[in-house]
Structure 1
Amino acid sequence: MEIDYVSVFIFACVTTFTPGPNTIRCAIMGMQAGYKRSMPYFLGIATGFFSIMLLCGIFASLLVRVLPEVVQVFSYAGAAYILYLAYRVLHVDYALSGQSPILLGYKDGLLLQLFNPKVLVLTLTLYTTFLSSMNHSVPALFLSALFFTMMSFSAISLWAFSGTTFSHVLASQKAKRVVNSSLALLLVFSAVTLIIV
């Protein structure tokens, strides 16, 4: 299966930049402690994310080599997961209030990623479906893991720098609906592409 870079990029962007526990926590830390003091936590997240990406990429490569028919199964399972994410994005909340001002460190960020089921499912979906054709190349796996880690780090940095701005802009229900609907539609596009390509 040839790689559809547009779908991969859309899927990766929407899943890494949309708010979740990770991005919201980074926004709060950025507001409360500043970007520089939060950096160890962000580096821990990046290290954990890269490790999971690489390990899942290697596992997916072995799985596809031993059971090539698994690609079709994961295509449908991955599309279902992406549609579930689209549904969740429709109802996501950007509120940052009511969060405790706890400063977390490198180990906290690392452990959060290593035991984060969302990252595990997202990565397995990515490598057994969209990127299944690159699974036989170790350099390609390494570079893709590095690329997605940089994308993830950009997302948490963006949230850390401008979390308060996001919460003010998206305080309007109308703005929230437009943003959430647009992001959900992009995910639906990725899911459909995954099945028909």
Structure 2
Amino acid sequence: MIELKLFFALVSYYFVMFATPGPNNAMLTASGIKFGFKKTLPHLVGIPLGHVIQITLVCLGLGSLFSKYPIIQFYLKWICFFYLIYLGWKIIGSFSGNEKERGRPLKLYEAALFQFINPKAWVVALTAATAFFPNEESFLKATAFVAVTAPFVCFPSICVWALFGSSIKSVIKNTKIKKLVEFLLSILLLFTAVIIVIN
């Protein structure tokens, strides 16, 4: 039987990783501002779904594949880097303009797939599959424990960011405030991109 101590440790780790700033939460805040909470729901559901798939794959051996072939990690790192810079650039000016210029919210499958180029998501998956994997349990039960716990912590944690974005939508009608929020969210994504290269 899985110890409660391990369960609470895993939940605490997930909460810290899912609730704190990162690519997902920056994008959800921007989506909440541009489209509102309701239209951001597919994005919100796609993120935990992507985490479950990613964590399961790491438990099944994807993590050891990275160790065996570091070149995969190298290319993945640079794909993440350039994509986050692209996202940061896209946020600039996106809160203003007409509906066409604002684009559309992410679909469920797009949000799920984004986790595979999200550096923070890889850290979560690799750490959960190693530090919190209950080796004394059967492989299937241990994998289910690590993977299935994730969405129950992830979904409420990330909802806060989308709700925050939608709640300040009416407050940031001022052009200067809009530009400041755009700048801060872009900087967050660019900072994450730089951290990837450094590490």
Where on the TM-score scale, by shorter chain, does this alignment land: which range?
0.5 to 0.7
What TM-score comes out, normalization by structure 1 length? Answer: 0.59
Q: How big is each residue's C-alpha offset from its partner over 1:126-167, in whole Å with a ceiling of 9 and x where there is no partner?
A: 555553242254323333343333333222211111124346
Residue 170 (str. 1) matches residue 165 (str. 2): no
Alignment counterpart, residue 125 of structure 2, candidates 106, 112, 131:
131
Deviation for aligned residue 1:56: 2.1
Cα distance in 2 for partners of 1:58, 1:113 equals 19
Given that 1:95 and 1:167 are in contact with CA atoms closer than 8 Å, whether structure 2 keeps it comes out as no
Residue 81 (str. 1) matches residue 79 (str. 2): yes
Match of 1:105 in 2: none
Match of 1:47 in 2: 45
Given that 1:50 and 1:149 are in contact with CA atoms closer than 8 Å, whether structure 2 keeps it comes out as yes
Taking only the aligned residue pairs, the percentage that are identical comes to: 7
Q: 1:78 to 1:9 in 2, by over 3 A?
A: farther
Deviation for aligned residue 1:44: 4.2
Match of 1:122 in 2: 117
Deviation for aligned residue 1:15: 0.4
Cα distance in 1 for partners of 2:145, 2:110 equals 25
Match of 2:155 in 1: 149
Residue 27 (str. 1) matches residue 33 (str. 2): yes
Residue 185 (str. 1) matches residue 194 (str. 2): no
Deviation for aligned residue 1:58: 0.9
What TM-score comes out, normalization by structure 2 length? Answer: 0.59
Count the aligned residue pairs: 166
Q: How big is each residue's C-alpha offset from its partner over 1:104-126, in whole Å with a ceiling of 9 and x where there is no partner?
A: xxxxx8x9112447524236x55
Amino acid at match of 1:112: K
Amino acid at match of 1:170: K
Cα distance in 2 for partners of 1:126, 1:182 equals 13
In structure 1, stretches of 5+ residues that fail to align are: 101-108
Given that 2:17 and 2:124 are in contact with CA atoms closer than 8 Å, whether structure 1 keeps it comes out as no
Given that 2:32 and 2:165 are in contact with CA atoms closer than 8 Å, whether structure 1 keeps it comes out as yes
Alignment counterpart, residue 56 of structure 1, candidates 47, 54, 57:
54
Alignment counterpart, residue 13 of structure 1, candidates 15, 21, 42:
21
Q: How big is each residue's C-alpha offset from its partner over 1:87-106, in whole Å with a ceiling of 9 and x where there is no partner?
A: 22542324243127xxxxxx
Shift >6 Å, 4+ stretches: none
Q: 1:151 to 1:187 in 2, by over 3 A?
A: farther
Match of 1:106 in 2: none
In structure 2, stretches of 5+ residues that fail to align are: 1-12, 134-142
